[in-house]
Structure 1
Amino acid sequence: MGFMVEGPAWGSVTFRWLLAGRTVTSLGSAIAPVALALAVLHLGGSATELGFVVAAYALVEVLTTLVAGVVGDRFSRTLLMRGTAAASALAQGFVAVALITDRASVPLLAVMGGVNGALAALASPASRAVVPQTVPAAALPHAVSALRLGQNTAMVLGFSLAGVLVGFFGPGWAIAVDAATFATAGLCYTFMRVEPVTGVSSQSLIGDLRAGAREVFRHTWLWVLIGQALMYHLVYGGVQGVVGPIVMTREFGEQAWGLSLAALMVGFMAGGIITLRYRPRRLLFAGTAFLALTACFPLAMALDVALPVILAGAFLHGLGLEIFSVNWDLAIQQQIPPDKLARVFAFDHLGSFVMRPLGLAVAGPIAGAFGADTWLYVAAAVMTGTSLLALMPASVRALRRESSHDHGRVSAG
């Protein structure tokens, strides 16, 4: 399987290919949303139209996710990752050509957003569930941190490049870079060699989904934090996809939104570096407490402050969310049986993002009717309040990290 019995995740050849593929994909995925938002605006689209274009991606992604979880547990996860990477390269290549040749339209971008949303959904559960297959159990915490650190480092670069690429070459060429990163990732995944996961399948899509749902509701900490994520993405989706780009572009110019997202990703990167050393025993208690810092970004945008203060708020948002995310991913991978991992990650993704399309769709009209600051203040309040409420269940506060000396699974219910 290509990994050493002991040592950090770097000892696994398979893990290194996974790390390379996911990192290069993250580079393109950071460039694409900035390029897409500016492409819609350059085509004369309104805030509401921008919201619907982004919502098309999110809605189809949500609708495809549960099927993707079943597929990721039934079939080869690496094969699924290769196929979706190749298809995504073709889809984004088509969008790039349409923009470069001035044949793009807002409806076309919305349709292709849906296609890309479906492909992203098919890839996500498998790419997360495959991680324990690439490293020994003792190296899993290091693997989770390293993957997210590589992803966030690439996204810092991507967000920083996005405004420059669009400014000098146009949104079409920026999307073309995203297509190239998918093609490169697909090549990386062809070199991955993992053992298949064995488990009992009901041979029925509905039966497999029910088994995944039972696994989710068997753990209080799991469904509580999925519920918290649902509220987070309901309000923050509109901040990131609609209100944020408009407010920052209006107040500070086109490059300001890219800089804000770069500061957010620097916070992610800093949080990832911290998690390489900071490994709290009560991993979800610590992670969820840090999650309250995410309110700093929308709050700073709502206030009449200078750009550096907003960038600091974005940094704190990223820092808190990353410390939570590393501990969250590790908790799932340590506590959930391998043959149900893709389905649990699919339910996690669905619960997290099912309300995001609604948030994207209503953010523009609400901002137009009541002002952008209203949505930003609401988002900050919801993000703080739900993080604190999620700390109330004992299972969230008590779930403990497995050490390399632990055997079996330790569940806090």
Structure 2
Amino acid sequence: MTTALDGRRRIVRALFQHALCQGLRSGLDPLRTDREFRVFFPGYALSLLGSAMAPVALAFAVLHGPGGADRLGWVLTARILPLVLVLLAGGVAADRLGSRRVMLAADLLRALSQGAFALLLLTGHAPFWAILLLAAVGGAGEAVFTPALTALIPRLSPPGRLTEANTLLTLARSTAAVAGPALAGLLTAAAGPGAVLALDAGSFAASVWSLALLTVRLPAGEPGPSYLADLRAGWTEFRSRSWFWVTCLHICLFNFLLWAPFLVLGPATAGQRLGGAGSWGLIMAAYGAGSVFASLGLLGRRPAHPVRLATLASAGWALPPGALALGAPLPWVCAGALVAGVGTAVNGTLFATAEQRLIPAAAQARVAAYGSLGAFALGPLGLAAAGPAAGLLGTSTVLGFGALWLLLSTGLVLTVPSVRRN
């Protein structure tokens, strides 16, 4: 009996390992068979790592000067404001001029701005007005790059491998989010923030090089009579797809009611009840690890209903704030963060795939810009309101309300027929 049971276990293990290897092999197909994606991916992955390192260096550079915390807030605002203001114009530019051209210009701009920032820090002459200006330039570059990326990927991989391509991009983002801050902390301590920002500038230069090596010529779209006309056409495409604008509204309110308060109140709660800054680091590390694991698990998977599954996965974001609201111990909060990281990878990968498959190629960048703007428009307000709301209602009430709202809203979004169907 024991021998037969052991034999069945070995067969099941072998079948599982075979399925896993097959999934990983097919998941790497864009790197093995799609020359354009293979050229683009390394430079983009390096730029993600540099971008994940930069905030640590920026914080050390600004906080060590006079008026540290206040000045850091101004610098972050200087970066976010042009990002929001330029986003729609970036989407129009990508659809009119071609996403590759726009991304080349955006990353060249970011390489130059971060290089200038690094030079100011390394020479010891960094006036605050220059820091604000360079932060704004970097934010504008990101606003132009982001919607163009959505439109670029379908030109680098065929429709049958879009899920795998987006999974690899999500894996690169997740890995950078975990490794970047840790690496930046070590390098900042050893060589100073200027050296880290110089590396970030180099990472953008690597992305420029990868984009320049692409041989595919991405045609510019048929422009309308004006930028305003193109914006109106993009808005028409956006609002005509209920699955898209409903899920964007879902993410917008999630950022406002749950994630922004979690990012503000989570560290404070960890410091007061869970043992300090190290515990918050463990929570965020678990979140990053969940995203990495989910990205690996998605390799080779092609769900039939990506929008439906992406929406279901968003419910995982309720767990870490909910655990904090309930007064759970650190291991349970970390477990919730791990599941939330899984939800982030699944949601981001599958929703990007659905965008690229279901939205006309000529309007993808503009629609992506509207989606990004809508999803994150209330995030800054949520960050600003979290502290006062917690002072009035209590931290547990704010976090618990956000978690319950997310679970309820996820169920409501799933009642929309086009969300369930796609």
After TM superposition, the score normalised by the length of structure 1 is 0.84
Unpaired runs of at least 5, structure 2 = 1-27
Shift of 1:323: 0.8
* Structure 2 residue aligned with 1:325: 348
Structure whose residues are more often helix by fraction: 2
Aligned equivalents of 1:33, 1:88: Cα separation in 2: 14
* Structure 1 residue aligned with 2:284: 261
Choose from 204, 222, 233 the match for 1:182: 204
Shift of 1:393: 0.7
Shift of 1:191: 0.7
* Structure 1 residue aligned with 2:17: none
* Structure 2 residue aligned with 1:226: 248
Choose from 13, 16, 29 the match for 1:8: 29
Shift of 1:111: 4.3
Q: Confirm or deny: 8 A CA contact 2:46 2:207 kept in the other structure.
A: yes
Residue 330 (structure 2) pairs with residue 294 (structure 1):
no
Q: Confirm or deny: 8 A CA contact 1:294 1:384 kept in the other structure.
A: no
* Structure 2 residue aligned with 1:191: 213
Choose from 93, 100, 103 the match for 1:71: 93
Question: Aligned with 1:201: secondary structure?
Answer: coil
Shift of 1:71: 0.4
Say if 1:368 and 1:97 are closer, same or farther in 2 by CA, change over 3 A: farther
Q: Which amino acid aligns with 2:146?
A: S
Shift of 1:154: 2.7
Q: Confirm or deny: 8 A CA contact 1:59 1:357 kept in the other structure.
A: no
Residue 145 (structure 2) pairs with residue 112 (structure 1):
no
Choose from 199, 204, 209 the match for 2:231: 209
Residue 408 (structure 2) pairs with residue 385 (structure 1):
yes
Q: Which amino acid aligns with 1:9?
A: P
Say if 1:86 and 1:177 are closer, same or farther in 2 by CA, change over 3 A: same
Q: Confirm or deny: 8 A CA contact 1:197 1:339 kept in the other structure.
A: no
Say if 1:91 and 1:110 are closer, same or farther in 2 by CA, change over 3 A: same
* Structure 1 residue aligned with 2:21: none
Q: Which amino acid aligns with 1:143?
A: A
Question: Quick check: 128-137 or 189-198, which moved more?
Answer: 189-198
Question: Aligned with 1:194: secondary structure?
Answer: coil
Say if 1:66 and 1:304 are closer, same or farther in 2 by CA, change over 3 A: same
* Structure 1 residue aligned with 2:303: 280
Q: Confirm or deny: 8 A CA contact 1:77 1:126 kept in the other structure.
A: yes
Question: Aligned with 2:299: secondary structure?
Answer: helix
* Structure 2 residue aligned with 1:130: 152
Q: Confirm or deny: 8 A CA contact 1:284 1:327 kept in the other structure.
A: yes
Q: Confirm or deny: 8 A CA contact 1:230 1:355 kept in the other structure.
A: yes
After TM superposition, the score normalised by the length of structure 2 is 0.82
Aligned equivalents of 1:307, 1:148: Cα separation in 2: 27
Q: Confirm or deny: 8 A CA contact 2:260 2:382 kept in the other structure.
A: yes
Aligned equivalents of 1:367, 1:106: Cα separation in 2: 32
Choose from 335, 347, 367 the match for 1:312: 335
Say if 1:379 and 1:226 are closer, same or farther in 2 by CA, change over 3 A: same
CA RMSD of aligned residues (A): 3.0
* Structure 2 residue aligned with 1:27: 49
Q: Which amino acid aligns with 2:203?
A: T
Aligned equivalents of 2:254, 2:91: Cα separation in 1: 22
Deviation string 1:195-252 (CA, Å, 9 cap, x unpaired) is 3236432131111011111111111101101111111222456347644455556765
Shift of 1:301: 4.5
Shift of 1:148: 1.6
Residue 183 (structure 2) pairs with residue 146 (structure 1):
no
Q: Confirm or deny: 8 A CA contact 1:43 1:106 kept in the other structure.
A: no
Aligned equivalents of 1:249, 1:35: Cα separation in 2: 23
How many residues align structurally?
393
Q: Confirm or deny: 8 A CA contact 1:56 1:357 kept in the other structure.
A: no
Shift of 1:326: 1.3
Say if 1:313 and 1:49 are closer, same or farther in 2 by CA, change over 3 A: farther
Question: Aligned with 2:213: secondary structure?
Answer: coil
Q: Confirm or deny: 8 A CA contact 2:39 2:213 kept in the other structure.
A: yes
Deviation string 1:171-198 (CA, Å, 9 cap, x unpaired) is 4433333222112211111111223236
Aligned equivalents of 1:49, 1:242: Cα separation in 2: 18
Say if 1:160 and 1:295 are closer, same or farther in 2 by CA, change over 3 A: farther
Shift of 1:131: 0.5
Question: Quick check: 196-205 or 209-218, which moved more?
Answer: 196-205
Choose from 360, 363, 366 the match for 1:337: 360
Q: Confirm or deny: 8 A CA contact 2:97 2:220 kept in the other structure.
A: no
Unpaired runs of at least 5, structure 1 = 1-6, 400-413
Shift of 1:261: 3.4
